[in-house]
A and B are shown apart, each in its own frame.
Chain A
Amino acid sequence: MSDVRQPLLKVRDLEVTFHAHGHAVSAVAGVSFDIFEGETLGLVGESGCGKSTTGKALMRIVEPSSGTIELDGTNVATLSGKVLRAARTKMQMIFQDPISSLNPRRRVKDIVAEPLDCWNKVQGDERATIVHDLLSKVGIDPVVYGDRYARQFSGGQCQRISIARSLAMRPKLLICDEMVSALDVSVQAQILNLLEDLKAEYGLTLLFIAHDLAVVKNVSDRVAVMYLGKICEIGPADTLYESPAHPYTEFLLGAALEADPDSPMHSQTLEGEPPSPMNPPSGCRFRTRCPKATQKCADEEPLPQEVAPNHLVSCHYPLTITHKTPTPTAVDG
């Protein structure tokens, strides 16, 4: 985790505003972060906070209203036409719903070869070999199942096929949007392990979007916490979970249920629900639910400040970091 590495992806002041029924919905309201080569950045937050929109804006599936998205030195936000299509192949996205991510009327091997076919990269035997390799890598027997239609597979298998497809163009960055939320725990564990293996093998960099805090902790090097279109805290996974600096992160972690009867019950729960992104509160967006909020929080928007190495928090009154070292001790009781 040295700082000399160059970020693969550099996002600055990304904003996405939707216009629905005459209202402007500011789904992503100025988000900045870096993802370094080979690392996994987790993105967590409540429903509607703008996680998916951030991921889609990076891929330019939704249009960012402002900001820069620098991938490997090129600003993806300003590209268009064929250059954009080419740039997209360096990034890939895996979606939440495994079944609807695959065209039910196409054969598995054609689905996996689709990116190759789009670019007319390879034909014939070479194409078949690549598809064969990819499918074997994700644990689907290409000989037996390559000719089957996508609709004949279960959710976990569909997600494997999606992964194989996303790797066909050898992307550098993989954006996983809730890719395991629709799966059962046992299948979820299989897919998460597979992702870790492939990440190492293909040298991938991941943006892992999920609402499940435990899943995110297990796969991420660093984690960003989003609230109402803004990142409120970003830092190394272990330190951030052990000693959150933003009050919202603390509540979020307190609400996470651990599969352990002896896990501490947090007496304090976050009341109410996030405000509407149509008219977000002034100043700090969390202030309406924050027990520590003061007048300053309403007047001034908190800027990201470094509370520990690599650990940024946007809060006027951050919680004190209890463990300065990034090596956590086991949490119990």
Chain B
Amino acid sequence: MSDEKLLVVTDLKTTFDTANGPLPAVGGVSFDLERNETLGIVGESGSGKTVLSRTIMGLQPRTKVSVTGSSVIDGFEVVGASENDKRKIWGTEVAMIFQDPMTSLNPVMRIGKQIDEALRVRLGMDKAAAKARAIELLELVGIPSPQERYNAYPGMLSGGMRQRVVIAIALACSPKLLMADEPTTGLDVTIQAQILNLLDELKDRLKMSVILVTHDLGVVATRTSRIIVMYAGRIVETGNTRDVFYHHRMPYTKALLESSPKVSNHSHTRLVTIPGRPPNLLSLPDGCAFAPRCSYATDQCHLVRPELEPSTEPGHTFACWNPLPINVEGALA
């Protein structure tokens, strides 16, 4: 059992039925995740990161959406499972941290009670045991004087502290997989570093796997072992973090890396830009979705969509008809 992959996603598709026609937010994604691994999912706004991570867990609106493919978490097939069955794995197998800690906490409930609830309902603990465990969890996520904070309301905590509480709730039933959707967007750099360090540390201590969803390449650079780059609802490149950063083959990955400003740049460094805007998912082109913005695009790119194909390094794949040459080490720095 334990040598099996924790998560296997195969050809997962999520299509929303909108007033303007079908909107393929996730258009066929396959990947898997080892135990005790941190995977980063990066991409621009609207590339489908949030929808993908929610679909993997089976969290999607009940109507106006169709999901096909498969997502197997520790042997449990999520796609097509009933709400009741999914509830059994939520919390215990897989838990999620959302971007906005304010809206994911109930503002009129003491934070201790919010953690207790999960413990008592899911694990059937009694009141005293739940409280003891809740305080333990608050301590685990680095909240100072957890005894007192147990009785605080979310509004009395700062953004960083609230995000720690959200993490504590997610960890309440010791999940094997933690989905973190933009866990630090909106937090200050110093607080962001604290939260990322905490996640890193908890991952090793609790032997979890973490999926870190973000639009910030800085967040995934040093904290993940593997990265998925998404564009218009599909994976365009995936591989070990270092390979994606240093040996990327897909022009989009290159453009994304080059367009983000770096602290090590000299002042007044001219940034490389990607012309145009992300595609409209309602009318995706037949070929590669990035082709209209790509300087390497040929006729073939506009007509036929490239599939993921392996690069030289193990586990490194990319979807491009005109990939960058293998040795692009100098392109960075």
Contacts and interface: CB of A to CB of B under 8 A. Distances in A.
Direct contact of A and B (CB under 8 A): yes
Nearest to B194: A269
B189 A257 contact: yes
Nearest to B186: A47
A218 B271 contact: yes
Contacts of B222: 257, 261, 263, 265
A46 B159 CA distance: 12
B221 A270 contact: no
A306 interface: no
Given A46-B188, A213-B263, A259 B333 contact: no
A193 B159 CA distance: 32
Interface stretch (A70-78, A179-187, A316-324): A179-187
Interface in A240-261: 241, 251-261
Interface string A274-316: 0000000000000000000000000000000000000000000
Nearest to B258: A189
A193 B266 CA distance: 15
Contact of A185 (B159, B215, B219): B215
A221 B264 CA distance: 15
A125 interface: no
Contact of A214 (B197, B265, B270): B265
B127 interface: no
Given A219-B267, A257-B192, A259-B221, A193 B260 contact: no
A332 B264 CA distance: 8
A251 B190 contact: yes
Given A154-B277, A255-B190, A184 B215 contact: yes
A215 B261 contact: yes
Given A46-B190, A184-B44, A189-B259, A260 B332 contact: yes
A189 to B, nearest CB: 4
A185 B44 contact: yes
Nearest to B158: A273
A177 interface: no
Interface in A19-67: 46-47
Nearest to B45: A184
Contact of A219 (B257, B268, B277): B268
B242 A261 contact: yes
Interface in A100-146: none
A188 B190 CA distance: 22
A317 B266 CA distance: 27
Contact of B192 (A255, A258, A260): A255
A42 B192 CA distance: 21
Nearest to A265: B222
Interface residues of A, number: 51
B132 interface: no
A271 B194 contact: yes
B25 to A, nearest CB: 17
B261 A256 contact: no
Interface in A189-242: 189-190, 192-193, 196, 211-215, 217-221, 236-238, 241
Interface in B129-182: 158-161
Given A256-B189, A259-B221, A187 B277 contact: yes
Contacts of A257: 189, 192-193, 196, 216, 218-219, 221-222
B195 to A, nearest CB: 10
Nearest to A331: B264
Nearest to B223: A257
Interface string B215-236: 1111101100000000000000
A261 B261 contact: no
Nearest to A215: B261
B273 A189 contact: yes
A194 to B, nearest CB: 9
Contacts of B193: 254-255, 257, 266, 269-270
Contact of B261 (A154, A156, A217, A237): A217
Interface string B227-264: 00000000000000110011000000001110111111
Contact of A190 (B242, B264, B273): B273
Given A184-B45, A218-B265, A258 B274 contact: no
A186 B274 contact: yes
A211 B188 contact: yes
A271 B272 CA distance: 35
A256 B271 CA distance: 19
A218 B193 CA distance: 21
Contacts of A258: 218, 221, 262-264
A154 B46 CA distance: 12
Contact of B270 (A196, A212, A255): A196
Nearest to B43: A184
A259 B268 contact: no
A218 B269 contact: yes
Given A186-B273, A238-B267, A214 B260 contact: yes
B277 A214 contact: no
A83 interface: no
A330 interface: yes
Nearest to A182: B45
Interface of B: 44-45, 158-161, 188-194, 196-197, 215-219, 221-222, 241-242, 245-246, 255-257, 259-274, 277-278, 332-333
21 contacts: A46-B191, A184-B44, A184-B45, A184-B278, A186-B255, A189-B273, A192-B261, A192-B271, A214-B261, A217-B261, A218-B265, A237-B267, A238-B266, A256-B218, A256-B263, A258-B221, A259-B218, A260-B262, A260-B332, A261-B222, A273-B191
Interface of A: 46-47, 154, 156, 184-190, 192-193, 196, 211-215, 217-221, 236-238, 241, 251-263, 265-266, 269-271, 273, 328, 330-332
Given A190-B273, A218-B262, 9 more contacts: A156-B277, A189-B273, A214-B218, A257-B218, A257-B219, A259-B257, A261-B246, A265-B222, A331-B264
Q: Which 7 A-B pairs have the closest CB atoms?
A: A257-B218, A259-B217, A237-B267, A189-B259, A255-B193, A189-B271, A186-B274
